[in-house]
Amino acid sequence: MIPNWLIQRAYLTPNKIALSFQDRAWTFAQLKEEALDYAEKLKANDLHEGDRIALLGPSNAEMVCMIHACLLVGLEIVMLNSRLSKKEMDWQLADAEAKAVIVADDLLGLLGSTAVPQLTFSHIQQSPRQPFRVADQWDDNRTITIMYTSGTTGFPKGVRQTVGNHVSSALSSVLNLGLHDDDVWLCSMPLFHISGFSILVRSAVYGMTVRLYEKFDAKAVANEIQQGTITRMSIVSVMLDQVMRELEAEQAKAHPNFQTMLAGGGSVPKDYIERANRLGMPVLQTYGMTETSSQTATLAASDAIRKIGSAGKPLFFNQIQIKDAKSPNDIGEVLIRGPHVTPGYIGKFEDIEPSENGWFPSGDIGYLDEEGYLFILDRRSDLIISGGENVYPAEIENVLAAHPNVIEAGVCGKDDPQWGMVPVAFVVANGEVTPAELRCFCEERLARYKVPTAFTFVETLPRNASNKLLRRELRSLLE
């Protein structure tokens, strides 16, 4: 059994700041009271322990209170992505068999023709309160959140995440990163995504303040880092580059208070890490996914420079091995085992066992070096096989990102009658640069078969809500 996060935290440190959003702040005691108010109103709307509901809202303070309220009632929460189409939203609601969908009033228009009953935030606010006894202990195996995978192939899967999954992830992370009394974690990742939700879990488990942004704002984030008002942040490469550009434009550096920039969602270019180091901003690469309730491996601060490009070693409770690897540096699919791994899926994929012989197949390609450090090369589904050679798009993207006139790049494979497939690049440029210059730049740094055969300049690259590059959409641009 595990203590009810918010109830226990409000008991232990009632006056500690739990959340700040815009110009308001809430202590853990205040957050508990607001969440309990919502919880009693949810009960009045015939929602009870064990019911499965869907939740659709922005990443603001009200959403945080609603999430905690659902947890206090004992609901299973299907976290809906506000960037989905109506058709995708309807599919997930039907697959989840949700009893109701709780939706922020200004997002009501995102729902399609679903038959699932809808409860708006304003309706819940105006409901009467129905007092109930809040459980002070939770079963480790109880499913509390369900998040759909991004659906890179076929239908998205509804991933179950249990109390034990979330807590083991939070504990593993703090054993690696450490904890300070004055820690403030800036959250600009969507709360419906595991990277955002996991910050709320850490806050309650650690007694740590969350500084919440509804949307990512590079200039505001850079200012917070410069002023020392935050100590940690989760980010992906494209966001990291934008923050660094703001600091570089001001010739500013990170405040000594700033401890960690936790970078996930894919490999971080070496050039980015070196730039961040010059700015006094420690960047630690991390590796995780929806099925592992956030982090599986993270690079320790002491290894940030020595092992540039690595996602580190598996966190304390976790294990990683490479499928069919016989020795260090053998490349293969990354397999994961640990208490943070999902016990299974819901709906269409409910009968599928997520693990094989106790190990979860990640779908990612990587290797472990002689010291056991994990290096992720790419998604297995994004691998380009050109003339029998394996080409990893992330490697090419990292090279292009080091060009001074390239903001970001995306690479995918294109069918080729001679080689089977060849890499092509989509580039967001900053200043004057030509395909010939980029080709020359790549030829100096990559084997010939890895050099893109074409460079297409675009204004933006397709990304999901957590800013992860969607290479399948690059392939659709080719068509």
| Residue 372: CB atoms within 10 Å | 12
State both tokens at 16: 């500690």
How far lies 77's CA from each of 72, 128, 153, in Å? 12, 22, 24
State both tokens at 43: 């009960």
Poorest-confidence range of 84-93, 167-176, 206-215, 325-334? 84-93
Domains annotated for the chain, with CATH where assigned, are: 2-138 (3.40.50.980), 166-380 (3.40.50.12780), 383-478 (3.30.300.30)
Q: What's the pLDDT band for 152 if we cut at 50, 70, 90? A: very low
Q: What pLDDT is stored for residue 150 in this prediction?
A: 60
Q: How many CA atoms does the CB half-sphere of 479 hold within 13 Å?
A: 5
Check: CB of residue 231 under 8 Å from CB of residue 209: no
Residue 421 predicted with pLDDT over 90: no
Q: Between 395 and 356, name the one with better pLDDT.
A: 356
Q: What's the pLDDT band for 87 if we cut at 50, 70, 90? A: confident
Q: Which tens digits make up the pLDDT trace of 354-386?
A: 999 999 999 888 999 999 999 988 777 787 878
List of residues 6+ apart from 29 with CB closer than 8 A: 10, 14, 15
Which one-letter amino acid corresponds to residue 81? N
Residue with tokens 């709320």: 200
pTM beyond 0.75: yes
Cα separation, 102 vs 344, in Å, equals 24
Residue 278 predicted with pLDDT over 70: yes
Mean predicted confidence (pLDDT) in 71-90: 91
| Residue 38: CB atoms within 10 Å | 24
Poorest-confidence range of 89-93, 151-155, 163-167, 249-253? 151-155
Cα separation, 439 vs 129, in Å, equals 65
Q: What pLDDT is stored for residue 242 in this prediction?
A: 92
Q: What pLDDT is stored for residue 182 in this prediction?
A: 95
State both tokens at 254: 């990170």
Q: What pLDDT is stored for residue 200 in this prediction?
A: 98
Cα separation, 427 vs 474, in Å, equals 11
Average pLDDT of the chain, as a whole number: 92
Q: What pLDDT is stored for residue 57 in this prediction?
A: 97
